[in-house]
Structure 1
């Protein structure tokens, strides 16, 4: 089976058509995951989705060294136009991430400390710790 990066080529090594948005997103998540693991976080799960329409999704759920559960949103943009990757995480997106986090936490016996981080991929990763909160 070809790796994710190989999907962006035509199989012969020559650059094929531009990767789809989905492939670009997966590559950005791969880059963010490697960056966070290098910083000492451990992957708990990837692409956690709540059931049903209108639910939320969390790109990465990680565990920090101190035991904090970290819900990570990964955003990638090809350019800084329109505010770049960071500007694309509005209140609606935050609410959906929070919804998914609450759904995930509901299945746990005890709730560890949690935070919401964002990793922006615009060239080198930029890690925004505690980028937003659940507002409780």
Structure 2
């Protein structure tokens, strides 16, 4: 069997990136229908990225969006590991500091919107800063 050309890996990477962006957009629209207001998307820090930042009433909501074709390996929600949670917490802390806030001064939570196949699951307050600091 012949090796795939080098450009094929780039297409696969672009395809995954586009798929991720599509699911983030679906999650944003779904959350807005649930009454949340959009604040920011794709907020990057040195250690990670926050997919969406939303507001629900007086609470700032940091959202991780995950997609898996099936739940064969635990589904999309199970893929938010403790390591990923620490990265999200660190990035959120930096974002809050840039906006004159902190976990102590701003009411916030960490949600996961998980797409497994055609199912959507919204895990509110999926993890918190108290367990990781």
TM-score, normalized by the shorter chain, greater than 0.5 = yes
TM-score (norm 2): 0.81
TM-score (norm 1): 0.79
Aligned with residue 55 of structure 2, among 43, 63, 75: 63
**Distance in 2 of aligned mates of 1:109 and 1:90:** 28
Deviation, 1:33, is 0.4
> Unaligned stretches of 5+ in structure 2?
1-11
What is the root-mean-square deviation in Å for CA atoms of aligned residues? 1.6
Q: Aligned residue for 1:102?
A: 93
User: 8 Å contact 1:75–1:86 — kept in the other structure?
Assistant: yes
> Residue 129 of structure 2: SS of its match in structure 1?
coil
Q: Aligned residue for 1:7?
A: none
> Residue 79 of structure 1: SS of its match in structure 2?
coil
User: 8 Å contact 1:67–1:113 — kept in the other structure?
Assistant: yes
**Distance in 2 of aligned mates of 1:108 and 1:26:** 25
User: 8 Å contact 1:98–1:134 — kept in the other structure?
Assistant: yes
User: When you count helix as a share of all residues, which structure comes out higher?
Assistant: 2
> Residue 100 of structure 1: SS of its match in structure 2?
helix
> Unaligned stretches of 5+ in structure 1?
1-16
